[in-house]
Amino acid sequence: MEKVRGIFMKKSIVAILAAIVSVISIALVTPQQTSVNATEKKVYQIGTDVTFPPFEFSNSTNGQYVGIDIDLMKAIAEEEGFEVKILPLGFSAAVQALDTGQVDGMIAGTTITNERKNKMDFSTPYYHSGIIFASAKGSDVKSIEDVKGKRVAVKTGTSGAKYATENADKYGYQIVNFDDSNSMYQDVITGNSAGVFEDMSVVSYAINQGTALQIASDTLSNDPYGFSVKKGQNQDLLNAFNQGLEKLKQNGTYDKIIARYVGEEAMNNQRQQKSDESSWSGLLKVNGSSLMEGLKQTLILTVMAIFFATIFGVIFGLMGVVPSKILNGISTTVIYIFRGLPLLVLALFIYTGIPSLTGVRIPAVVAGIITLMFNEGAYTAAFIAGGIKSVDNGQMEAARSLGLPFSKAMRRVVLPQGIKLIIPSFINQFIITLKDTSILSIIGLVELTQTGKIIIARNLEGFKVWAIIALIYLVIITLLTWASQYVERRLSK
């Protein structure tokens, strides 16, 4: 008996190690491939925002990232002989990624402040802007003095949020934070917030796109924007940026890039793009390929996460039912931890927390799959253990009385009965995993939800875009639900 238990424990440990090695192998392959491709030119990973037009946004032609920041970064890279890989992380995630070494640099309309200089080294300023206060078009809020006792909306981590925080006591308002510009604007337009503090160029772009806002203040600050690297690191990249920026200003490229996004001609182009996407059919025509690419990424993440979560869940689920208190305790602890952690916290911990401790970069895709593996795997382990335990104890006792060892009795007698109870739950877990992929947009994965945010940043058609995405999710989940019901009916026969 003890020998059988020992064999089972060894097999379990081997299986655990195999699963871990598989995941780590994925993580190791990506950086190595990058280094091989970088033998001719140095390749830098640059974090940026995704919803900050005209500085960074996705165009309507081919879904590529464009804007003042993106075009400047690419032009400087070409001028100085290096390559860049733009990572659309969102402002807050980009700041964290820079701090933990996940990216080499960051360009996201980042205001140069003394506070940020403690963590970042900045380039010479490449643009000067300022914070303004805006309210809903036609509202009674005509100035900052009108917001006493009301809410104002800001975007997390931005200069507008900093200004709002520093002056909250002076004007007597409350602050509500958002992760993207469109949600912030809609909160003001619907009347939930009295106004918004935001970059002047960004608000002007939104108003030109038809957003029902009105500027209700003069420029409140004069903010220089700079490219940044982690303090004390990547100084060659920082120097190359400064040199390239100076060359672009001298040869006229800088002025051309600014005029491309700021000015009357740029405004006319933006109005035309807005007109092209004003109808449902136009919106789908312009953005259909981007939405399908986001859906493809969502399905890939879901399938890969389910694969690893199944391995994880089977191992720890079986550990919860074997006759070993040690293995039972390990299983219970692991399930408790990963079911108890919010998925958002787990994703950020794996993507930014672990690299800050180890100094080893984890690609966003790998971090996302590991996050889902732990979270969904814990739930899978719980229902696997529950399914096996629901099989009458007499089944195992009868098998053992016939001379079958524990492992064979489990495999031949108990598991076949437990699997009938487990499969419907497994399909439901697939549905849950599909929906949970949307949370991974926080670490910059451009799945279906993040694709929606990027499209909305350009056209500000929040209702239409989210309605289309909701319909896509609904269709897929309905098909999976039908599959689950079909399997359940088959098993019941």
Residue ranges covered by each domain of the chain: 2-30+281-492, 41-127+225-276, 131-221
Q: What count of residues does the chain have?
A: 493
Q: Roughly how many angstroms between the first and final C-alpha of the chain, as a whole number?
A: 36
Give CA–CA dist 469/347, Å, rounded. Answer: 23
Topology given in CATH for the domain delimited by 131-221 = D-Maltodextrin-Binding Protein; domain 2 (3.40.190)
41-127+225-276: CATH number = 3.40.190.10
Q: Which residues contact 108 (CB under 8 A, 6 or more apart)?
A: 47, 48, 49, 52, 55, 56, 69, 91, 94
Based on its alpha-carbon atoms, the radius of gyration of the chain, rounded to whole angstroms, reads 27
Nearest to 184 by CA among 49, 347, 52, 48: 52
pLDDT confidence bin for 317, thresholds 50/70/90: confident
- Is residue 194 scored above 90 in pLDDT? yes
Which residues, other chains included, contact 197 with Cβ-Cβ below 8 Å and sequence gap of 6+?
Answer: 131, 132, 133, 152, 153, 154, 160, 161, 163, 164, 220
| pLDDT on residue 480 | 82
pLDDT at 369: 93
Share of the chain above pLDDT 90, in %: 32
Question: What would the DSSP string read from start to end of 232-249?
Answer: TS-HHHHHHHHHHHHHHH
Write phi, then psi, for 215 (nearest 5 degrees).
Answer: -75, 130
Place 358 in a pLDDT band, splitting at 50, 70 and 90. confident
428 in Cβ contact with 451 (< 8 Å): no
Which of 82-86, 198-202, 274-278, 429-433 reaches the highest mean pLDDT?
82-86
Residue partners of 87: CB distance under 8 A and separation at least 6: 45, 46, 47, 48, 94, 97, 103, 364, 444
Give the model's pLDDT for residue 395.
Answer: 65
Q: What is the pLDDT of residues 413-438, one digit of tens each?
A: 666 666 776 777 777 888 888 889 98
Class of domain 2-30+281-492: mainly alpha
- Write down the pLDDT at residue 316: 92
Q: Which band of pLDDT confidence, cut at 50, 70 and 90, is reported for residue 29?
A: very low
Would you state the structure tokens that stand for residue 356, as one six-digit string?
Answer: 């800050």
CA 135 to chain centre: 29
> Same fold for the domain at 2-30+281-492 and the one at 131-221?
no
**E strand or H helix that includes residue 391:** none
Cα separation, 239 vs 244, in Å, equals: 8
Beta-sheet pairing, 195-199 with 151-155: parallel
Is the Cα dihedral 306, 312, 315, 318 positive or negative? negative
State the pLDDT confidence band at 63, using cuts at 50, 70 and 90: low
Label residue 9 by pLDDT band (50, 70, 90).
very low
Residue 38's pLDDT is 39
* pLDDT tens profile 267-292: 655 555 655 566 777 788 878 888 89
